[in-house]
Amino acid sequence: MITSAVTGMVLSAMPVGEYDKRLVILTKEKGKITAFAKGARKPGSAFLACSNPFSFGTFELYEGRSAYTIMSVNITNYFEELRPDVEGACYGMYFCELADYYVHEYEDGTESLKLLYQSLKALSLAGIGKLLVRRIYELRMFQINGVAPQVFACVKCGRNENLTRYSSSQSGVLCGSCPSGESGTLRISEAALYTMQYILSAPLTKLYTFTVSEEVLSEIELFVDIHAKGQIDRELKSLKILKMMLS
């Protein structure tokens, strides 16, 4: 029997058969994996509480040919504060689905897992606001996966000064000296540019320690939405639910 222990978080759970659950887990060691929790839906099962989204801890796995089976678990955080908060839970499910979209098996999931953990914690912080938490999470998830917008230098000439416009077709900023050659460029304020640069460069522990004005947040939301449309090739179900709830 081949067994291994991984640190991770449950991204999603689906009923299988009469009593079991199929879990998708983001792990530090193996990236995204599929694992079965046998008997997880039985009353009194040791896996009853730990086989739900947001459950974070250590999972002892049996490695099968095409999937893993959970042998034992030690959950250290259930993120219980999100469960009665419908809005917070919807944001959390979206964060999990975006991680599911990007992370693959057999790759290092350390940075994605750290980001997801810190972002779920940030959803319960009163001062920062869930809208900003979402945009920070999205930008850093893009960065981890090598598809972040270029906001540190002009995408045409490489200058890092006088960056005044954002090009949707080129996924980055333009300086005032470079003609865009397109009609879809948008003005970007100095405050919005600085905020996006900070989000993409700050240590993870400093990500959720600031706020911005409504005007700056609106700008950032616009640019992130534009960028996301070019990066994600399908509408995520959890994001659709979140939009419906907030509308």
User: Could you tell me which residue, 126 or 207, shows the higher pLDDT?
Assistant: 207
Q: What CA–CA distance (Å, rounded) separates 120 from 81?
A: 10
Q: Quick one: pLDDT at residue 1?
A: 59
Taking residues 26-49, what's their average pLDDT? 93
Taking residues 218-224, what's their average pLDDT? 97
Mean pLDDT computed over every residue of the chain? 93
Backbone angles phi, psi at 231, to 5 degrees: -110, -30
Can you list the positions of beta strands (E) in the chain? 3-16, 20-27, 31-37, 56-63, 68-77, 163-167, 172-175, 185-187
Looking at the chain, the whole-number percentage of residues with pLDDT higher than 70 is 99
Start-end of H helices in 103-236 = 110-122, 130-144, 190-201, 214-231
Q: Is residue 157 scored above 70 in pLDDT?
A: yes
Maximum distance among all Cα pairs of the chain, rounded to whole angstroms: 67
Q: Is residue 184 scored above 80 in pLDDT?
A: no
**Reported pTM:** 0.95
User: Could you tell me which residue, 64 or 238, shows the higher pLDDT?
Assistant: 238
Instruction: List the domains of the chain with CATH numbers.
Output: 3-78 (2.40.50.140), 81-153+160-246 (1.20.1440.120)
pLDDT band at 156 (very low <50, low <70, confident <90, very high): very high
Taking residues 91-116, what's their average pLDDT? 96
User: Could you tell me which residue, 200 or 178, shows the higher pLDDT?
Assistant: 200
